[in-house]
Amino acid sequence: MPTLKDIRVRIKGVKSTQQVTKAMKMVAAAKLRRAQERAVMARPYAAKLKDMLGSLSAKVDTSVNPLLSARSEVNKVLVILVTADRGLCGAFNTNAIKLAHKIIHEDYAALHSKGGVSLICAGSRGFDFYRKREYKIVKGYTAVFQNLDFSTAKEIADTASAMYLRGEVDKVVVVYNEFKSVLAPHLRDEVILPIAPETSGKESGSDYIYEPSPSAIIDVLVPKHLNTQIWRMMLESNAAEQAARMSAMDSATENAKELLRTLNISYNRARQAAITTELSEIVSGADALTS
């Protein structure tokens, strides 16, 4: 049974932890607001760029650009995994790694057994996980979310497209957390190469005159589209990470509050028991002297 001193030490430790988790929750809330604004602002541009590419690709032969042409047979796959640089954000990193694991070991198990699956890890947690195991990592980016910059997304997009053009991969899949709300991040996996633009009936029925030619415009839009989509995914992941951390720290603070309540009850009971024992000893001693 713990002594009064042990309980006091534990109460002090829990209070210190509660102060830390409360502070981390406030910091995550402040970062979430900025990250959410950046993610929301990037969505319209990325969506419009995708629509424009879809409208143009409906008017030309997609074989004019190799990044639009799907391979007849998929023998090599590149998985781009976007995780956080730090922990203390609940199951945020674990869920992303689990989905990447599922894609590698279930969806492309046959290719993985032949060494046909490679990885690009954006974020320290995913990179550290796969670096310690026997996986083919093309490139790992650590501490990217401490100072998130568009150049990192562009470098990832350039690496993936270069590998696709050289025939080193036949498909590129991105695993990331999309920001939906504070309580519900949405884990997603999207194929970004080959590019499969979505065409709407409204745009495909319209007739425009393009200058220069649609194929020339597509050659300019395709790299912009790749850069923008990966940048959007990284912004979404950053916002989802801050939301997950804020939620996790809020739960930790509430758990610490409940634990403190339980410890205070245990401390009071132990103190009352000690006082009762001392009184019993005093009474017994007094009875012995008078008898």
- Is 235 part of a structural domain of the chain? yes
Q: How many domains is the chain built from? A: 1
CB 176 within 8 A of CB 96: yes
* Domain limits for position 31: 21-248
Out of 32, 42, 46, 89, the active site residue is: 89
Q: How far, in Å, are 79, 94, 189, 283 from residue 172 at the CA level? A: 6, 21, 10, 82
Predicted local confidence at residue 112, as pLDDT: 92
Is residue 268 in a domain? no
Q: What average pLDDT does the segment 155-172 reach?
A: 95
Question: Does 137 map to a domain?
Answer: yes
Residue 6 located in a structural domain: no
In-domain check, residue 72: yes
Sign of the alpha-carbon dihedral angle for 159, 101, 75, 67: negative
Distance CA 224, CA 212 (A): 17
Three-class SS state of 201: helix
Instruction: State the burial class of residue 77 (Cβ atoms within 10 Å of its Cβ: 0-12, 13-18, 19+).
Output: buried
Distance (Å, rounded) from C-alpha 19 to C-alpha 214? 59
How much of the chain is in helix, strand and coil states, percent to nearest 5? 65, 10, 25
Residue 52 reports pLDDT greater than 90: no
Inside any domain, residue 205: yes
Give the pLDDT confidence of 196-235 residue by residue, as tens digits: 876 555 544 456 677 777 778 888 889 999 999 999 999 9
* 89 flagged as catalytic: yes
Percentage of the chain lying above the pLDDT 90 cut = 65
DSSP label at residue 79: E
pLDDT reported for residue 204 = 47
Q: What is the pLDDT of residue 199?
A: 59
The tokens for 47 are 């969506």
Mean pLDDT throughout 66-94? Answer: 92
Evaluate whether 99 touches 92 at the Cβ level (below 8 Å): no
pLDDT score for 203: 47
Which of 253, 111, 219, 125 is CA-nearest to residue 177?
125
Give the span between the Cα atoms of 157 and 195, in whole angstroms.
12
Residue 2 belongs to some domain of the structure: no
- The answer to whether the beta carbons of residues 191 and 78 sit under 8 Å apart is no
Spatial distance between the Cα atoms of 148 and 163, rounded to a whole number of angstroms: 24
Instruction: Kindly state whether residue 259 falls inside one of the protein's structural domains.
Output: no
Query: Please, what is the Cα angle at 271 between 268 and 276, to 5 degrees?
Result: 125
CATH of the domain at 36: 3.40.1380.10
Q: What is d(CA 82, CA 107) in angstroms, rounded to the nearest whole number?
A: 19
**Entry pTM:** 0.86
